[in-house]
Structure 1
């Protein structure tokens, strides 16, 4: 009953006795004893809600306390309110039910709100508001945010004492009211102040996601670093980074910068480096790199930069002088070839493969046996590509690098085929610059211009992503003798080689060589376009002002309008787009400028620039805009028919480019592609298979390759060729047995169609790329970072494949080598601090999303224990088996330096500055 210092009145005593007698009657009824007045007693049971004795006592107490508040004696208010608060705070209830004190006080809520309006200002009124705020939780009316309303009327720091559910409810209402006030342009400072009280409460109770969501809704995420500590920062950052794919510009960058600041504050330099790379901010990359003097850590960050092909100058500090060369080697990928061959040795695949090992003609149907392997120039050219892709990076094969008469295979092809065949040497010798230059050198002095052209391309391919202080590629390819050679193919391949070699380097010397070619009215359109594309690849994602202005000036030049109907102009447009890769809204200035251009190519160019700017962001509104473009019907008699068709084709590629990297978006987009194939115009249908290949390269999902397999038998031969190529992209470097079987069947099916058969062979070469050790997926580091350089290469070949018969299957097949920029080993190689391979046991399994999960959940499932180096398939993750070593990288992927644990604590706290 009521507290002893406040004795109940006789009326209340009578009420209590009535309830007690009712409870006795209920008990008798349950025991099987008859009741005196049936109907009357049933009414009494309903009114008492069959409460237990304990609950009835609590209800009576609370009813009495509310009654106290209605009396005129103000001295009763404080003890009554305190008793109410104690009752609510100490109530224990199941997780799913409303606490009983709140249940019993709910009917009194209107009375208490009326009292609040009547009471004079003072502590009692604030205390009543405190209680009303908690009872307000039981009202789920969307228009009433009473919990927040009364909380603001009763400011207190002790919000956490009301429990976690109350804090969450309050946060929800803050978000709702904030949105209303922003719309009405009212001030929101009180809401922000209250939210900043709730954030530490969330963090203390392991509700990091709630804290981040609240700050995100109130647009104060940059305040977050003040509230995290060493126990919470890692989970908070994990959630921040995982949300970025679901945010729009500029919030996505804001979240990344907040996570970067937190990691830097807690000296977590490798995750901070990953975020700096993801932001494509060279100042932040340099800042992280130079914020430590620990040489091993610098080497690890060098490997991360090398993987992204972001180049930062390594200063020779006194502390790290002896390690400086190794750090430079890590940044510039100089030892990538050595580590790749270590993997090959471990997997016992150093023995070169022949094209027949790939084709497996004996498994093709006997009806066409021998008809798919004719010794023609076309077949030999396909064999050169297949050989190059399959033995890529291993530095030996059975066709081009044999000891006797090395030019033999080159002379089995003709015309541009000789260019592609010599260029294949660059693929075989990838990343191995010193040995490779010796092998290719003699081809540069050939009397045959086509062989010189092939050697130019080979040098560009071999040095792609590898930096040397001496810059042999710039010396050889940037030479005026080559760029002004009388043979147009030598000029084109020299310009193309510069783009491949220096992709992502932002090297001004390359622009100085190429930009005059782009702007010169004397340059033929193919050379100008390829030079512009090389400029775009060199400065990809940098929005380099000089390059943008020079390329844009060509599109605005009315004297060159006649050239804009040429098929090669698309590569100049792509070069402009690549400069804005990932820059999002910064591209708007270019879009406005292109609107002023009078020629039909300005719209397709603008859409190509726009999709590059939003690549990998998953922006739903952009995808909707692109789908709208695909809806338009093009009039067959239209003057701009060609450019309108190209516009729609770029839009389809753009849908895949924007959606890639975000799993839910990918699922949705794949369904849209199905609709476009069913209902789209022929020009759209041709590009859909390419878009499907772009959305999941080196990730052979059965539902995708089964669909592509159907499209590979399409009545429209252009659709079929693109579907076959997309199957190659999908399985690139995976050795997927089902895809290999489908491609063998296609080789038999198309044995009479030279163009389709050529594409089947290319797809087979891609499938077995690097003997199954490589990937062309542009996402790396646990699929968090999008490689701009890799995507630029993929886009270049796909833009050519839009009209495959004009480019790749006719004479410009050397464009296939743009795939080189995306090729990278899919390995995990563990190294010691001196960069020597170190064999340790790791668990390799399917990655599990642990964001927001309680405790320390397992990050992989279905694992197998293997010793390094190991191959990692798409969606796989590795963990160290024991705690003998600690990884200096935040993810076990690529080249990872391990440190013996015994030394770690000392270095951890003494090396950072």
Structure 2
């Protein structure tokens, strides 16, 4: 047909009475509408009238023409409704721009209508009985809080562009004009419903889904189903994928991948906790229906849904199958459950598994050696033995599962790995010690923390043994921190923990003789004991609790509270909570902060309303800021991972006039929504970061972005870029720490680009934060992975030795050097587990670590975030066989950083006598004049034959620095060239032994070529159960030396205790204590340090501390002569 120039004639035909002329006009316009639509616009009412006229034979054609006109007018809602009215004439498969636009609009409308019918189903709102001025319960308090200066958290801003995070209002079509503004109170009926075309819409969507199924694009259907909150469509897509695949190949590997995809979306994108739980329940149901289910995905769902009964049921099913592979899978699931679950969850699973094991065996497994009363109890219970006991053949397997769920096996294996592969560079640690004056407490603490982090979990404590004189300079809280550092170094050393700390633990007064020395070392030892048994509990909780209840000294109570919190983390134990609350009510500022924090740690993630009400009430009653801060942090910990259930508490805390409680409100957002990437949480944090009047609150608001977004860490640098250049140093510090927390262990270049300039910031604590964050980002990075790591390490060492650098920056530098080499260079910082779940100890450790701003001993909590980067293969006997696996990379790519070279001239020299500045300046001026004269006469500059040290010192230092700099540049260039040549020469691919260091980025290159040992799942790091295909053949295993139990100590008599107490009381000086420790035959660092750290300080008030950190010397008249 020849193209029309004008549509005037055809438009005129629409007014004719003859239907055939109208049909001819519509057909002609339909074919040329893209060219003539401007002339047809005025005739749209007539065309719509034809569509609505039921007697008109081509109603659908009229609807199609009108739809295309509205499409060109960009009235997409009207266009879509009329296109749906066009029925079969609207061809989905035409592939034109008009069809694609209408299909997209149909999908959006289907999503908004479907989601509007299913409002967010979160946890029930907590009715807190509190005295918050800006919160309460009921609608009236919500409307009242709208008028307050603090916007309620749940109504913080406009809805997000993402449909997943939008709070839908039933009956409102979000695609309808005005529907996106939730502040407009109206109940307009959506256009689709007004015109009655929802049936046609459903037909189009079903046709679209069928086309996707035909082309095997199941993921698109799943995406639409999740956005529309339609579980029926989601179920249909998964079942259809499974059925289609079985028809073609008879297997269903693709449906398992689809399940993984659904789980990834569910855990990473869906932000409403209630809807997420519904999806997980559906996935769990579908996984159980599959003939050969993916047990690892099931375990992932079970942990998140807190279904402990289902977890124990799965383990029982697998063990009772009896074949080696099922047993290996059961062990692997047990290891995964331990890594991803809370102590409370594991305890319930252990109780249910224990019921399958005869009582005597279960007690031996859980409690160790039997006691006198065990036989009697066993006789009583045997008469009422419940049915359903396990087969005798399965009992050893269930015992092994109990030991895995108890955490003992994982802890032993990680301890052995860190012990065997320790690669600490002692030259760096010694340089840190020599650069910082130990008589100043901040510097002594810095070296202690550096040593603790470097040796975390390795059990190597020789630094204390070799530096007893340095250790003797610790007084008061420095001594507390140094003793607690033993807990970080020996973390996981369960079998020897009590023996190691025995000399430090509080002892009762005996026959009038005093206690066991310094209360600071006693308090520190209880804290250390908790760190050794962190997130494990068991006997440690009872021992610490006993000492805590008996303690009268506030320092011992402080350490005991921290130890109880970290060992009893997430147990929800009411008894421990009551003990802590009793001490809290004594209203002591010193122990109140630790007690408030410990209450939160014990009730971690439980959302316990009674505990929250007690804490809120006391926070308003007390006058001590420290107690309020501890309680604020404790409340945030109780709401860990609770998301929407924490909103009421958040609103109340953010509306409080006390900035410390507002600080707690921000931390509650960080922990309740950690890892969720919630738009609502991010908006609130950014709002508070620029609007609150208190610097502490603004700082923590920016810092908390790191906790919310660590799963999408690449978005954080862009988000905090402007905040990192803020006029306010607290905001800059918060931006630095947010980058460190979210990008930890990634080596992300964008994060380093922002942090590097902050090393030259004018404010000392911003430089401190930048140093710590850089270390967190660059942990386990070598020059091959990130070329800038070498220069940044050098910058840190230079800053450490700079006498003009501020004390706070030097503190940050020492801590940073410990973090970057964490755990003997075998640990990374990870806030999520290898299987993708939230790493609860890691998140809590990082959150409490950030409180070092107020209290240095809390820095030790960062060790909870240290995750060993290993692959440890264990067989069905839970032994570690010797075998090799293959890494398809160059060895240098993931190798350890090189050790620092120790130069002879760097040996410590005697300190030169100080010279007055005026004398030095006069001598320098004289030297310059002499040099200038020599240059003019072209003479060679000779060195004086008998120079005085004071004469040459300033000029010599300048010259040496210059030469060193030149040498450094040449050396760097040479090192770079040699590195390039080495890479060229290196062969790709090398063998690794079992229990080797494997970085997270290296996992994808691993293969297991050994024909005998096959992993039961794709290695994700950590413990991997391998299936021994030749169990009858002889094999070699790796002996676990680090966790070998020491022989029991000889029985201690009253005379021995008196002798020990008198001996300790006689030791009044660090020097004598050090001498006694050196004479001791025990080689361990902890034992050698005991005499120093337990000695009572001569001046308990800390007069030994230098008043200022700046170095200075003076000379007497006699020395001058």
SS at match of 1:830: strand
Conservation of the 8 A alpha-carbon contact between 1:222 and 1:258: no
Task: Choose the corresponding residue for 1:760, options 805, 813, 833.
Answer: 813
SS at match of 1:779: coil
1:310 corresponding residue in structure 2: 342
Task: Choose the corresponding residue for 1:798, options 850, 867, 882.
Answer: 850
2:802 corresponding residue in structure 1: 749
Q: 1:571 to 1:103 in 2, by over 3 A?
A: farther
Write out per-residue CA displacement over residues 30-52 of structure 1, whole angstroms, 9 at most, x where no aligned residue. xxxxxxxxxxxxxx9x999xxxx
Task: Choose the corresponding residue for 1:898, options 1013, 1018, 1026.
Answer: 1026
- 1:831 and 2:878 matched: no
Unaligned 5+ segments in structure 2 are: 6-17, 114-171, 174-178, 180-187, 246-253, 320-325, 357-389, 508-515, 783-788, 891-986, 1032-1121
1:583 corresponding residue in structure 2: 642
Alignment of 1:231-630 (within 5 A): 231=245, 232-244=254-266, 245-250=268-273, 251=275, 253-266=277-290, 267-278=293-304, 292-293=318-319, 294-311=326-343, 312=346, 313-314=349-350, 315-316=353-354, 317=356, 318=390, 320-344=394-418, 349-350=421-422, 353=424, 355-359=426-430, 372=436, 381-400=445-464, 410-444=471-505, 445=507, 446-467=516-537, 471-479=538-546, 481-518=547-584, 520=585, 522-557=586-621, 560=622, 562-563=623-624, 566-594=625-653, 599=658, 601-630=660-689
Partners of 1:596 and 1:707 lie apart in 2 by: 33
Q: 1:742 to 1:866 in 2, by over 3 A?
A: farther
1:678 corresponding residue in structure 2: 726
Partners of 1:698 and 1:177 lie apart in 2 by: 42
Write out per-residue CA displacement over residues 434-480 of structure 1, whole angstroms, 9 at most, x where no aligned residue. 1222222232143332222121111101111335xxx221121111x
Conservation of the 8 A alpha-carbon contact between 2:721 and 2:754: no
SS at match of 1:836: coil
Following superposition, the deviation at residue 390 of structure 1 comes to: 1.8
Higher relative contact order (CA 8 A, sep 6+): 2
Partners of 1:655 and 1:255 lie apart in 2 by: 27
Following superposition, the deviation at residue 220 of structure 1 comes to: 1.0
Write out per-residue CA displacement over residues 242-272 of structure 1, whole angstroms, 9 at most, x where no aligned residue. 4454444255555555544444443222123
- 1:780 and 2:833 matched: yes
Conservation of the 8 A alpha-carbon contact between 1:844 and 1:877: no
Conservation of the 8 A alpha-carbon contact between 1:828 and 1:894: yes
Task: Choose the corresponding residue for 1:878, options 988, 1000, 1004.
Answer: 1004
Following superposition, the deviation at residue 539 of structure 1 comes to: 2.9
Following superposition, the deviation at residue 687 of structure 1 comes to: 3.1
SS at match of 1:554: helix
2:865 corresponding residue in structure 1: 822
Conservation of the 8 A alpha-carbon contact between 2:764 and 2:806: no
Partners of 1:303 and 1:168 lie apart in 2 by: 49
2:745 corresponding residue in structure 1: 698
Following superposition, the deviation at residue 381 of structure 1 comes to: 4.5
Partners of 1:901 and 1:227 lie apart in 2 by: 38
Q: 1:715 to 1:127 in 2, by over 3 A?
A: closer
SS at match of 1:498: helix
> RMSD in angstroms over aligned alpha carbons?
4.5
User: How many residues align structurally?
Assistant: 754
Partners of 1:502 and 1:134 lie apart in 2 by: 66
SS at match of 1:622: helix
Task: Choose the corresponding residue for 1:689, options 736, 742, 747.
Answer: 736
Partners of 1:772 and 1:627 lie apart in 2 by: 35
2:776 corresponding residue in structure 1: 729
- 1:174 and 2:238 matched: no
1:649 corresponding residue in structure 2: 699
Partners of 2:578 and 2:649 lie apart in 1 by: 22
Alignment of 1:850-869 (within 5 A): 866-867=991-992, 868-869=994-995
Following superposition, the deviation at residue 132 of structure 1 comes to: 9.1
Partners of 1:170 and 1:900 lie apart in 2 by: 58
Partners of 1:235 and 1:863 lie apart in 2 by: 30
Once the two structures are overlaid, the 10-residue window that deviates more, 872-881 or 208-217, is 872-881
Conservation of the 8 A alpha-carbon contact between 2:562 and 2:595: yes
Once the two structures are overlaid, the 10-residue window that deviates more, 600-609 or 790-799, is 600-609
